[in-house]
Structure 1
Amino acid sequence: MLRYAGLHAPLRVGAPDIVRPLLDPVLAAWPVAQEGADVACPAPFATLQPSDGGRWALDAPLAQKPLAQHNPVNAICDLVVEMSWERLRSHPDLLCLHAAALTFGDSLVIFPNARRAGKSLLTATLSQLGHAVFSDDFVPLSVDAQRQVIRGIANGIAPRLRLPLPDNLSESLDHWITGRIGPRNKQYGYLTGIDLPQSGVTAPVGAIVVLEGDPTLTEPPTLTPMTQEEAMAVLVTQNFGRQVHAGAILRVTDVLTRSVPVLRLRYNAVEEAAALLHNSAALRDLSAARMPEADQPGMLPLAPLDLPSVQCRLPVDLGQAFCKLPDATECETGTSLFLADGSGVAIHRLNPVSAVIWKLLDTPLTGLEMVEVMQELYPDVSRDRLCGDVSGALAFLWQQRLIVPDAAG
């Protein structure tokens, strides 16, 4: 049994003399807090052990996936995912971003996940330039209760690179990465022997860089500011947590996108992009993102793990009056309105019709009264079309636990 620091439940490892030589380099900076058959803690969150034919089996009961036989490196890849979820089960108040995170000076720069944008290769290239790697995949966030600073937490896991490496890397970078690839198979390799802070180490979030890889780009890479609206749309889709209230996620995302630089990196060549980031004045002397005390995640309850579906009567009766449910969290940026329901289950970016209806419902109104208002706002749209749009918007808001029929209406 191995209980890693920060996790409540242990990992059971079968045949440790076979498993640990591959596993330990991947978790090089995630210390084992307890080890041995007599580890006194809950049942293991996962069991990793060799099976027939050189395959490994990962049994993770809470993953709700069938037991599968893996190539050893793929089994470790799946285990890393389960360890990230176990961290959140152990600390359900943590927010978490699908993102990479590296130090720039004393601060963290967050790189939200973008499929096939070269995030892990960029992480490796920045590591070569001296930036410590907090994560290349998931970044837990906490709010310092005393200083109100939003901080990222190192996960202590080696970055995972897709193999083979692209053939357009310089000889020096290719040699540097290749010499540090530890456990590997034909598909993935883990980058070891780099500046990897120990799991649990924290640093203040100072900037966010959204990656936009473009293989057709022939010009040098660019680093340009994003609007808060654009940044919110990216970050709310990268947030996940076991029981973090959606309102807390929305508040933290709002503060991050208002208080630290949010930039878009458009690039093709990874080394040019890393050099641009490394030398950018916009990523020097960064100030920490701070949460007003009243907005801290701990001020909201944990979200329920499961809620029954809402029984919404369809089609919606436009003669029925509706009202807002209490305790919703809202954030307005530019032309977008983001809402988290009071139960804390989800965040929604409302379309223009739904946003207007939400604002109208500061006092209870019937659907027909909303249609009249919409007719004044959109005189060129037919009444039938408006009735359909209002009915659809009401059904959506109702099903998402944002409004209910008014009992007095």
Structure 2
Amino acid sequence: MNAVKPVKPSTIRLDFPGLTRPIHLRDAEPVANALQVGLSGWRPSVQAADASDNPASATHRRGGAYVVQSTYLDEPMDGLTVTGAFCAIVADLSEIWSEEHPKDLMLHAGGVVIAGQVVAFAGEARAGKSTLMARLTAEAWAQVLCDDVLPVQPDGQCLGLGIPPRLRLPLPKAVSARFRQHVQDNAPLRDGQYAYLAAETTAPHGTKAAMGAFVALTRLESGPARFHDLPKVQAMAHVLTRNISLSDETDPFLERAQNLVEGAVCLRLVYSDLEEAVALIRQAFCDGLIDIGPAMDLPPAPVLSPVALSDSWAQMAQVRLRQRGAETYLWHPQENSVLAVNPIAAVVWQLLSESQTGDAIAKTLAEAFPQVTPATIRADVALLLAQFEAAGVIRRR
């Protein structure tokens, strides 16, 4: 992990209940206020920082913006708004929780308590998970645990960390007037990119409930909202690929994940209209009126065009590499996305810790795999970089 720079006299230390590693803030009172306003029921103690502290992250003001330095980032995040700094810090809080609670499964999923049980929602990037969780904060019958990281404790209870759902701005034109007004009234933290929904229906830190249902989200361009059966094997694959915990206890994790899936109703929610989806969720989990269609074949993934190998690329600073046994994933907490990668793809992503052209990467791989033709390697690299770009884990330089 990267070290955080030494403190200065004006630095304060925030200690969050349940965590041993603190957060440092220097000349960043608006960020401290944002944490007070944005986090639900998770109030840190405040004291002067000390040089002997071992902070997980440190935020300071520079000019009219903020810089966040974190042990989980290869380089500081600079030029952040108050909302951007809040976003970076809460991502670190999730990381610290995972690190200090290795027996918790940390599912990359949204979680909502409905009628006393948790309904977990997971989906591929752009499936609308965070928007749906934010929209559900407008409903009195739903208590939103999270939109991004759902800890599941060893006793099977899902835990709310008190982190509010985040919306990407601007809102889609198709959202309802009611939701638009809800965002206006309940998003005290916002900038031009994100808004956090600090509504009364956001569950306070420490809220617990057992999982009752696991829902995979599929958003289509058109068509009515409907539920389909989700085979247990597919639900298990969702859980396995969405565990972002730092624990290496593979066997216990597999057993717990299997128990979690076996004890839950597993469904796929297909929708195009957000309001229809919310109405259907209420009918299913509040009223018990649920019509489940058969398991469905998903539409094929869009075909990507290979990138130009002459272009230069580098890792997105926020992306974390996660490994679970033989499985490797790239997790982007700011984009709420998880990408499963094979060993070669993981190596390519690690090569991009420093800016490189596709040509340079292809040359490196050609030297490592002389039995493969250079033309094949170049074609594979061009397509892999396109996949990385689409997933938001690399950027052009």
| Residue 40 of structure 1, CA deviation | 11
CA distance in 2 between counterparts of 1:17 and 1:162 reads 25
| Residue 173 of structure 1, CA deviation | 2.0
CA distance in 1 between counterparts of 2:287 and 2:248 reads 29
Partner residue in 2 for 1:206: 212
CA contact (8 A) 2:166 2:195 kept: yes
| Residue 17 of structure 1, CA deviation | 2.5
CA contact (8 A) 1:31 1:198 kept: no
Aligned residue type for 1:159: P
Deviations 1:30-55 (A, max 9, x none): 221x2201689951111112112x12
Partner residue in 1 for 2:48: 37
CA distance in 2 between counterparts of 1:88 and 1:344 reads 14
Deviations 1:137-184 (A, max 9, x none): 00011122xxxxx11110101111011111112212211222211211
CA contact (8 A) 2:137 2:197 kept: no
Aligned residue type for 2:101: H
1:275 is aligned to 2:285: no
Select the residue among 144, 152, 174 that pairs with 1:141: 152
Select the residue among 253, 256, 263 that pairs with 1:252: 256
> What TM-score do the two structures reach when normalised by structure 2?
0.66
CA contact (8 A) 1:164 1:187 kept: yes
CA contact (8 A) 2:136 2:278 kept: yes
Where do residues 65-76 of structure 1 align in structure 2 (5 Å cutoff)? Answer: 65-72=74-81, 73-76=83-86
SS across alignment from 1:198? coil
> What TM-score do the two structures reach when normalised by structure 1?
0.65
Partner residue in 2 for 1:94: 104
Query: Per the alignment, do residues 139 and 41 of structure 1 end up closer, same or farther by CA in structure 2, a change over 3 Å counting?
Result: farther
CA distance in 1 between counterparts of 2:86 and 2:256 reads 32
CA distance in 2 between counterparts of 1:132 and 1:25 reads 18
CA contact (8 A) 1:13 1:49 kept: yes
1:265 is aligned to 2:273: no
SS across alignment from 1:59? strand
The size of the alignment, in residue pairs, is: 281
Partner residue in 2 for 1:191: 197
Partner residue in 2 for 1:225: 229
Deviations 1:261-318 (A, max 9, x none): 0100000001100110011159859xxxxxxxxxxxxxxxxxxxxxxxxxxxxxxxxx
1:160 is aligned to 2:160: no
Deviations 1:76-131 (A, max 9, x none): 21221111110112212211100000011111111124211111111122221221
Query: Per the alignment, do residues 104 and 281 of structure 1 end up closer, same or farther by CA in structure 2, a change over 3 Å counting?
Result: closer
Partner residue in 2 for 1:24: 36
Q: Which runs of 5+ in 2 are unaligned?
A: 1-12, 290-322, 329-397
Structure having the higher Rg:
1
SS across alignment from 1:123? helix
Partner residue in 1 for 2:305: none
CA distance in 2 between counterparts of 1:9 and 1:40 reads 14
RMSD of aligned residue pairs (Cα, Å): 2.3
Q: Which runs of 5+ in 1 are unaligned?
A: 145-149, 286-342, 349-409
| Residue 205 of structure 1, CA deviation | 0.8
SS across alignment from 1:35? strand
Query: Per the alignment, do residues 42 and 207 of structure 1 end up closer, same or farther by CA in structure 2, a change over 3 Å counting?
Result: farther
